[in-house]
Amino acid sequence: MSRTHDALLAFHRDLIRIPSPSHEEGPIVDFVSGWLRDKGAEVERIGDNVVARAGRGPHLLLCSHLDTVPPTAAWTREPFAPELEGDRIYGLGSNDALASVAAMTFAFLDVLENDGPVSMTLLLVPEEETGGEGAERAWPILREQAPPPLGVVVGEPTGLDVAAAQKGLLILELTTEGDGCHAANARALGARNAVRLLADDIRSLADVDLGPEHETLGGTTLEPTVTRAGERRNVVPDQASTWLDIRTVPGVSHSDLAAAVRAKVGGDVRVHSDRLHPVECPPSAPLLAAARAARPEAKVYGSRTMSDMVWFREVPAIKCGPGRTERSHTPDEFVLASEVAAGHDFYCRLAATFAEHAS
């Protein structure tokens, strides 16, 4: 690898060494902010969001997250002591998403050193894994600053394939009410068992109309997840509930989906969260053309999983980064050194092709 890639991988290992579970990102934010300032970058803090700017030309924003999930007892290695074995770099967050953070940061340095070919904003955020004070907070402030970006790249482990669309998430709580009584007396009393009522409602949702399919993302999906009922084995529960995880697509509103669910069930339906809407990059966007030109072999696809791409609905946005999504949140997480280097190369080429296509 080149000297630049050696420095890139050293920076990546430095990031892994700093524990940064969600809501505890202060030390890594301080490190990255100071590191960028030492390189001569203009750095701003929005809470624990790091914003750096450089270059001239069409405005491109690169965004990835500094936080990780907490380590679990299943780890057989020290999560915060990066280990290189062959091409593998082990460490918590090495793949999701510190590989993207490192690759994007070094692409930003290239723009800083060459004063172009784009005007680049680097946005490194906290709390992506849990939501709240990261891109959701920073983006409304940044989008009001002139000039707004013409494209946004969200760094997540996609194998450098390009997610041009992403499903949204609607979370509903379905609750049924029954008649609490001793289980031995339920039939004689004609008591309504809230569990049976909930089971009937769940079965009825098997054929609920969730709207048309999306060309890239497919159809909206609905899955019951965490279900609760009763506290004692000999008592018929008077209440039962389940969360409904609904992955949504463009063209179908969350309010219409909630109404369709209510029309199919007898229980009460409460909207728990409807702020995470689907997003897609327009097929004609210069950003998408630039990504294809920078990496012709990349697959362009629709993503079922959430990321900070959800916040960038006002501008063309894609999700693309080094690493593999199936390694995320796993014990002994790793990324390939060659993947991190390839990510840096891709972001640098993307800056060049974006300058051509967005001019």
Q: Which CATH number characterizes residue 39's domain?
A: 3.40.630.10
What Cα–Cα distance (Å) separates residue 107 from each residue in 103, 177, 217, 307? 6, 56, 30, 21
In terms of domains, do 331 and 259 share one? no
End-to-end CA distance of the chain: 33
Cα 332 to Cα 6: distance, rounded to the nearest angstrom? 23
What is the domain range of residue 219? 169-276
In terms of domains, do 241 and 315 share one? no
User: What pLDDT score does 185 carry?
Assistant: 97
User: What pLDDT score does 348 carry?
Assistant: 98
**What DSSP letter does each residue of 138-200 carry, written as one string?**
HHHHHTTSSSPPSEEEE---STT-EEEEE-EEEEEEEEEE---EEGGGHHHHTPPPHHHHHHH
User: From the candidates 128, 129, 133, 156, which is the catalytic residue?
Assistant: 128
Residue with tokens 């904003």: 121
Domain count, the chain: 2
Segments in the chain below pLDDT 70: 1
For residue 88, what are its two tokens?
A: 């593998």
Any bridge partners for residue 162, and if so which? 300
Cα 262 to Cα 269: distance, rounded to the nearest angstrom? 6
Task: Give the count of beta carbons closer than 10 Å to the beta carbon of residue 272.
Answer: 10
- The reply to whether 129 belongs to the active site is no
Give pLDDT tens digits for 74-130: 999 999 999 999 999 999 999 999 999 999 999 999 999 999 999 999 999 999 999
In terms of domains, do 207 and 150 share one? no
In terms of domains, do 34 and 123 share one? yes
In terms of domains, do 65 and 75 share one? yes
Contacts of 26 (CB under 8 A, 6+ apart): 48
Residue with tokens 């009522």: 197
Contact, 248 vs 277, CB < 8 A? Answer: yes
In terms of domains, do 179 and 137 share one? no
In terms of domains, do 143 and 215 share one? no
Mark which of 230, 250, 276 sits at the end of a domain: 276
Any bridge partners for residue 151, and if so which? 60
Give pLDDT tens digits for 253-288: 999 999 999 999 999 999 999 999 999 999 999 999
Which amino acid, one-letter code, is at 215?
A: E
User: Which residue intervals of the chain are DSSP H helices?
Assistant: 3-16, 26-38, 98-114, 135-142, 186-189, 194-204, 254-264, 286-294, 337-357
Whichever domain contains 243, its CATH number is: 3.30.70.360
In terms of domains, do 131 and 201 share one? no
Pick from 17, 22, 46, 16: nearest CA to 33: 46
User: What pLDDT score does 1 carry?
Assistant: 59
In terms of domains, do 39 and 139 share one? yes
Q: Tell me, what DSSP letter sits at residue 57?
A: S
User: What pLDDT score does 196 carry?
Assistant: 97
Mark which of 276, 309, 335 sits at the end of a domain: 276
Cα 352 to Cα 329: distance, rounded to the nearest angstrom? 33
Pick from 173, 316, 339: nearest CA to 244: 173
User: What pLDDT score does 145 carry?
Assistant: 85
User: What pLDDT score does 8 carry?
Assistant: 98
Mark which of 225, 251, 276 sits at the end of a domain: 276
In terms of domains, do 302 and 237 share one? no
In terms of domains, do 162 and 176 share one? no
In terms of domains, do 144 and 177 share one? no
